[in-house]
Amino acid sequence: MAYIVCAEEADGRWIAHVPDLPGCFTSDPDREVAIKAVPSAVEAYLAWCRGHGLRVSGLSAPMIVAEVIRAWMYEDGVEVNAFFASDRPSLMIEEAEEQQRLLAATRKDLLQSAEGLGEAQLGLGLAGERWPIVGILKHVANSELWYLDRLGLAFPRGELPEDPFERLERVRAHLLSQIPTLVARQGVVTLAGETWSARKVLRRVLWHERDHAAHILKLRRRLTLPGGATA
């Protein structure tokens, strides 16, 4: 049986998602390159799951590109990202349990990507990067809370801890506490021109955390402190 791929344009690049494998994606500035990389990404994802002790069924070829959606700008220059047909169905309890296991794996990877770095290394800016690593960690937490806010499930931003690791922990604990609400939720919400569902929130959380864990690992290879010390 074929599996579907959904491609979206976001932040100047193309991201190809595999909805049957939450958190499995490829990205590239070129749409066709991102799509062609999907089979290899599926194999890597299955190996990643095995490495975390997760049992995930494989997919049978061929793949079918079901949707290709370009980003568009809403009021005040806000980018609106894709809502796929696969984001619409309500979340089942069994799926939510699986996604909680995936969330634990992506969080483990994110924390390991920054493991052993001191305050100076976490805060060191690098050419061409929007944030230092500490900023990326906060961005992951902030985005996760923002996704929940799209469904009216966030806590006030003023309650976010300043420490990046405490912030990540606080937001993730809140997300997990909202899983029963996400399972019970029916329908979709459109806010600021973008459509959201419980399934889309979890898709984006998993994608975003895996994306930035890999991002931080790349930055570690570039990280040099004054005096020539490296991470």
The model's pLDDT over 194-206, given as tens digits with 9 standing for 90+, comes to 999 999 999 999 9
Looking at the structure, tell me whether residues 82 and 131 fall in a common domain.
no
Domain termination site, one of 71, 86, 101: 86
Domain final residue pick, 86, 102, 132: 86
Q: Which of 75, 88, 60, 104 is nearest to 189 (CA)?
A: 88
Q: Do 150 and 51 have their domain in common?
A: no
> CB within 8 A of 78, min separation 6: which ones?
192, 193
pLDDT lower than 50: segments of the chain: 225-230
Domain co-membership, 75 together with 93: no
Q: What pTM was computed for the model?
A: 0.94
The reply to whether 35 and 76 lie within a common domain is: yes
Q: Are residues 100 and 79 in the same domain?
A: no
pLDDT of residue 229: 46
At 227 the pLDDT is 44
C-alpha–C-alpha distance, residues 171 and 160, integer Å: 8
CATH code, domain carrying 116: 1.20.120.450
Q: Is 10 exposed, middle or buried (0-12, 13-18, 19+ CB in 10 A)?
A: middle
Q: Residue 50 is part of which domain span?
A: 1-86
Do 119 and 79 fall into the same domain? no
Among residues 70, 86, 102, the one where a domain terminates is: 86
pLDDT of residue 33: 98
Do residues 65 and 20 both lie within one domain?
A: yes
Give ∠ CA 223-226-231 in degrees, rounded to 5.
30
How much is the pLDDT for 181? 97
Tell me, what CATH number does 60's domain have?
3.30.160
150/48 same-domain check: no
